[in-house]
């Protein structure tokens, strides 16, 4: 595992649970608004070994309930399954954040009962996907496969979209709604420039009223729509 960051306690990353968040390095997307740009290259600096993280988690048993594995894109890690198994052996729940580009990994981990929750990014409407992900040759069928699999209800999950002024338009959300029809939980996250955005000074956040309009567009297709990152 290439572990480039560790948030020791979070009340936000794993819904309903006190958790730690593990940040993996490397990603196959280059979303221009990425707020973890330092984690994108495969050569991003490794700060922790798996053993060090597991040692920390061992000491936090009884305090933490779960571990969120995010990135970067965790499904690129060749020893992800082993790492998850070791986390679970300590009694923790596991949440995986993913861009959905490797459905075979997602299906395999779920089929083996190794995940308790999945958060998958829906980067944009299908027509807009390659541009938004910075991956011109992206095979959108892999994303569709992950969406369809999660919609089967194998385990608790959410879809989420980071809304970015300069990237997204109302048309994205008109396309997203029918695409994720039947999703129990969908979140629109407002863009925040945290100082590590891949292309700073290019993008901005939407106003609350605009986000609420996007939410109204998607709401007829999903169980619940929430907004994140607004005052």
Tokens 């008109």 sit on residue: 174
Partners of residue 34 on adjacent β-strands:
none
In this prediction, residue 182 carries a pLDDT of 97
CB of 22 within 8 A of CB of 67?
Answer: yes
> In terms of DSSP bridges, do strands 185-190 and 3-10 run parallel, antiparallel, or are they unpaired?
unpaired
CB of 72 within 8 A of CB of 36?
Answer: yes
Find the domain containing 87 and state its range: 3-228
Tell me: pLDDT of 184 over 90.
Answer: yes
CATH number of the domain within which 30 lies: 3.20.20.70
200 pLDDT band, cuts 50/70/90, is low
CB of 109 within 8 A of CB of 81?
Answer: yes
pTM of the model: 0.95
Alpha-carbon torsion 88, 97, 189, 147, what sign?
A: negative
In this prediction, residue 35 carries a pLDDT of 83
**How many domains does one find in the chain?**
1
Q: pLDDT tens across 95-107, in order?
A: 999 999 999 999 9
CA atoms within 13 A of residue 13's CA, in its CB half-sphere? 25
């Amino acid at each position: 595992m290439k572990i480039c960051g560790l948030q020791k306690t979070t009340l936000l990353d794993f819904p309903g649970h006190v958790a730690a968040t593990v940040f993996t390095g490397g990603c196959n997307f280059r979303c221009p608004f990425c707020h973890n740009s330092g984690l994108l290259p495969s050569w991003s600096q490794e700060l922790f070994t798996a053993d060090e993280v597991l040692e920390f988690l061992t000491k936090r048993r009884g305090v933490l309930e779960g571990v969120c594995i995010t990135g970067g894109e965790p499904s690129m890690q060749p020893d992800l399954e082993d790492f998850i198994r070791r986390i679970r052996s300590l009694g923790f729940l596991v949440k995986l954040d993913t861009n959905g580009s490797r459905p075979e990994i997602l299906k395999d981990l779920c089929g083996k009962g190794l995940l308790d929750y999945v958060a998958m990014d829906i980067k944009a409407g299908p027509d807009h996907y390659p541009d938004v992900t910075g991956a011109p040759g992206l095979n959108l069928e892999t994303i569709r496969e992950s969406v369809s699999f999660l919609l089967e209800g194998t385990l608790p999950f959410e879809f989420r979209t980071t809304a970015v002024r300069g990237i997204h338009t109302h048309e994205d959300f008109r396309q997203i709604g029918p695409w994720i029809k039947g999703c129990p939980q969908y979140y629109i996250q407002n863009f925040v420039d945290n100082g590590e955005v891949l292309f700073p000074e290019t993008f901005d956040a939407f106003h609350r009223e605009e986000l609420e309009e996007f939410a109204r567009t998607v709401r007829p297709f999903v169980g619940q729509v929430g907004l994140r990152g607004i005052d």
